[in-house]
Structure 1
């Protein structure tokens, strides 16, 4: 069969797609790049926000017009199967924790519905470019009030460490120079296995031979706090990017309680300061939801103050949107005009703060590893602390090069290759 897979959402969703591609290829099926060339279309969906859900529903309507076999996979299928079935009653459904059923679904002449799976036992054998995305777990140990993903990935399921190590080893052999160990909550890795933690897993991965860097995926503060000392130690390893993604979501304790987050603002700040004291160049990235129910002006200003105080290198800002069957949906909502105004103010502050951080790199020399192509023939490299650098010279992917940083924006750095190589006089 010729199979076309279209993917939306987070790195974990992309990792799921690579698993499906790997399994289908091993069975002799062909992965094609155009839906028109396919016998079967797989739509790997995201449902994290209302506008994303609406886009997914529209895409299902478009794809079902092809009259080809349609498989709707991912978080929308898992969290809202009735919605999917109402739009495309003939489509097969594959929840995000049942991706290992993909070959059965593709090969079956009948419609199939799989929404809950067993322990994950297959890691991806394929990747694109020079970045390998390796899922280490899905599901989480939390129960946030606003989160629909919890309804799609209901159980924490950690991949056995030997499968992850083997997947990384194979990816490096095939040319990967960046390995993303991804999960819904990386710090929850191993809670369902007993006797192993994220730090143990990373220590196994760094022993793999080869010139590659590891990016550890997003983790909740409450789980990261469980083993902070061990986490800091693995972040110090030469093969690990000095990068940590810790979503704070709000800078107000009352809102955090409404969100059912299991930490206080002070605890979060203490954790960030501890990490920065041990790894001064660390890139602390966070997520913030603006306009969650219960957020008044004081709470919003507390969030702005936290942004100013911690000066995150990157913030993923999102305006709260109601997600069905979540506790936050039943709470008194912040009016849309208020949310939009706050979102604009938070975005403006974020851009100002991130630019202040990035402009300190202008004039420095950074050693970067080139991982992907940019626009207009540019190449994207990553610094040791995972800041993107746009290189305006011709250079192969997968190379370590020295770059003179000449410009900065709130989003990235920009510069040129340094010729000849000189003694590095950079911040990293």
Structure 2
């Protein structure tokens, strides 16, 4: 790993998914535990650490520009997904990359027993590297490699250390949390159950899980969600509501498979949050597949939808594929966004007047504090309250994306 001297000053930036930010945060916390010091400006640092994302071309270009800007001010260590796909463009001069073998070592000992020195850059606990899929479009699979799961006992120990630091919102994260343990035999429900045996008060959020693997463990996993410490939150990316497109994507499940998992979740937890992802304008999309996606959203009513326009990426099967015309992609994207806004606004408005138990999670804007209810919905409360404290609030207003609460 990066050799450092005592009191070396580190500046950090992190982009992309929760997994990438969590890895970067733990990596930097490891350096802090070895004697480094965190600073707020790159000009004050001896080295900058940047966690990068390459999920679409626009994001990769943004990362390359930011690395160039930072390297004009400070020596830069690049982590995340970019090194695996663009190392040749990066390394040299003031830029050093976290090489693939070095990145894999994060999951075979380096992240174990990391002392959390700086909670502000702690985003969660990575539980596995890589995935079991072979999606035609996905560059994350290329950059992350094959599945590599961390031991249950190491993750539980890290949760205990997190709780000792007073951080009571636990986030388990990976490219696919439902793939956890397929290489070791200790699957996600076993990990969640082990964490819930910790006799302390906390809240647990399980991160994104792919439908293919989630279907194998859903019944057992959702039984663990009956513990009130687990957020009733399910991030299940469907990507398309059309089976033909899903086959072209090589997603290895059908629309009905996705709906079966959602139905199982909603029946057990009617007051819950469903988050999904949609790729808009995949190369084989047409008006029929778009309408099928719209109808799926209308049937399942996800509270959160992450809409991304298709971007062919190098090293994937879909690289070189033509996308639908930009005006068509724009029309589809706007229609999906408007549908999501209608669903979210209606569901949020239906909660006004309810009393909710929340745990405060972060500082908001203009002197507010943001809490999370049992379904992981954000609740904005005027005033500053201790982080990770709890309160009963009355929901007095709502927007498309959050509730407004008053402490009672």
**TM-score of Structure 1 vs Structure 2, range by shorter chain:** over 0.9
8 Å Cα contact 1:75/1:96 also seen in 2: no
Query: Aligned partners of 2:295, 2:41: CA distance in 1, in Å?
Result: 47
Query: Aligned partners of 1:129, 1:39: CA distance in 2, in Å?
Result: 20
Report the CA distance between 1:332 and its aligned residue: 3.3
- Give the alignment partner of residue 353 of structure 1, picking from 340, 343, 352: 343
- Give the alignment partner of residue 131 of structure 2, picking from 128, 131, 140: 140
Query: Aligned partners of 1:320, 1:201: CA distance in 2, in Å?
Result: 34
Map of 2:332 onto structure 1: 342
8 Å Cα contact 2:348/2:402 also seen in 1: yes
Query: Aligned partners of 2:388, 2:272: CA distance in 1, in Å?
Result: 22
Report the CA distance between 1:89 and its aligned residue: 5.2
Query: Aligned partners of 1:95, 1:15: CA distance in 2, in Å?
Result: 18
What RMSD in Å do the two structures reach over aligned CA positions?
1.7
- Give the alignment partner of residue 183 of structure 2, picking from 179, 192, 202: 192
TM-score (norm. length: structure 1): 0.89
Map of 2:201 onto structure 1: 211
Matched, 1:182 2:173: yes
Map of 2:15 onto structure 1: 8
8 Å Cα contact 1:185/1:219 also seen in 2: yes
Map of 1:425 onto structure 2: none
Of 144-153 and 27-36, the range deviating more from structure 2:
27-36
Map of 2:4 onto structure 1: none
Matched, 1:31 2:63: no
Map of 2:5 onto structure 1: none
8 Å Cα contact 1:288/1:318 also seen in 2: yes
1:313-340 superposed Cα distances (whole Å, 9 cap, x missing partner): 1111111122122112233321222111
Aligned length: 398
Report the CA distance between 1:96 and its aligned residue: 6.4
Report the CA distance between 1:163 and its aligned residue: 1.0
- Give the alignment partner of residue 51 of structure 1, picking from 53, 58, 72: 58
8 Å Cα contact 2:363/2:384 also seen in 1: no
Map of 1:93 onto structure 2: 97
Of 3-12 and 362-371, the range deviating more from structure 2:
3-12
Written as runs of structure 1 = structure 2, the 5 A alignment for 1:403-422 is 403-418=393-408
Report the CA distance between 1:362 and its aligned residue: 0.7
Matched, 1:74 2:84: no
Map of 2:386 onto structure 1: 396
Written as runs of structure 1 = structure 2, the 5 A alignment for 1:368-407 is 368-407=358-397
Matched, 1:166 2:157: yes
Query: Aligned partners of 2:115, 2:196: CA distance in 1, in Å?
Result: 19
Q: Secondary structure at the match of 2:136?
A: coil
8 Å Cα contact 2:206/2:234 also seen in 1: yes
1:335-357 superposed Cα distances (whole Å, 9 cap, x missing partner): 22211121111101110111111
Query: Aligned partners of 1:396, 1:130: CA distance in 2, in Å?
Result: 18
Query: Aligned partners of 1:8, 1:130: CA distance in 2, in Å?
Result: 12
Report the CA distance between 1:29 and its aligned residue: 2.1
